[in-house]
Amino acid sequence: MKRFLIISLIFLLSACASYSKKQGFTVIDLEDSLTNPIFSNPDRDYVYKAQIEVYDNVFGGLFIVKKTGLESHRIVFTTEMGKTIFDFSFEKEAFKVHYILKDLDKKILINILKNDFKVLVTEAIRSKSTYVLAKDKVHHSVIDNQDYYYFTNEKLHKIVRVNHGNEKVRFVFSEMDDHGAGHILIEHLNLKFKMTFKSIN
C-alpha cells in the first residue's frame, strides 16, 4: 500500500510539472515582448487554400484574412465556388459571427474557431517569461486565461497552447516572410480537429 501511494505521488507530481520544466527550457528573462506577424499587414489580403477537418467532416475552400484596423481583422472561409462557410470579425476584444454554415453552427465549435483565430490575429505578445531551447527563443504568454508558448528562431515558427503542463493545440508556420506564413497548420491534440492553410497569393 505504501509503495502504491509513493508511485501515485510521483505520477501526480510529474503530471503537474510545468510545461517549461517538462521541455527542459532555460529561463533567460522574466519579461519580454514579441510581435506576431502572421496577419499583420493591412495592405495585404491573405488568401489561402484551406482544409478544415472536424471529426469525420472535411471542408475545403478559400480562407481569407484582412486586417481592417489597428486591432481589427475580418476572417472569411468560402467554398471555391464562393459559398460562405463562415464569416467572423475581431474588433479589439470583441468577436462577431456574421455567418456560419448550419452544419458548423455549434457553440463549442465556434469557441474553438474563435480561440484559434484570435491567437493568429493577436500581434502584440507580452511574455510572462522567456526561455531558450536549443536554437529557439520561447515566449510564454497568456491569451484569455490560456497559456501559449511562442517558438522563434529568427522568425516565429510554432505556437503551442498548454493546459496542466500538456500540449493541447499546435500552430505550426512555415515559408515565413516579414508579413505572414506560406503554410499554417493548426492541430488539436485531444480532438479530431485540424486546419491546414496554403497561401496562394
Please name the residues in contact with 193: beta carbons below 8 A apart, sequence gap of 6 or more: 53, 54, 55, 112, 187
Mean pLDDT by 10 residues, the chain (201 residues): 46 50 68 85 95 91 96 95 95 95 93 96 90 90 94 93 94 85 95 94 79
pLDDT of residue 121: 96
pLDDT of residue 17: 47
Q: Locate cell 475552400: which residue?
A: 61
The grid coordinates listed for 168 are 493541447
**Range 19-199 has CATH code 1.20.1420:** no
User: What is the value of pTM for the model shown?
Assistant: 0.86
Q: Locate cell 515565413: which residue?
A: 176
CB distance 48 to 198 below 8 Å: yes
Domain ranges of the chain: 19-199
- What is the dihedral sign for C-alpha 87, 181, 35, 30? positive
3-state helix, strand, coil in the chain (%, to 5): 20, 55, 25
Question: Between vectors from CA 50 to CA 56 and to CA 84, what angle results, nearest 5°?
Answer: 85
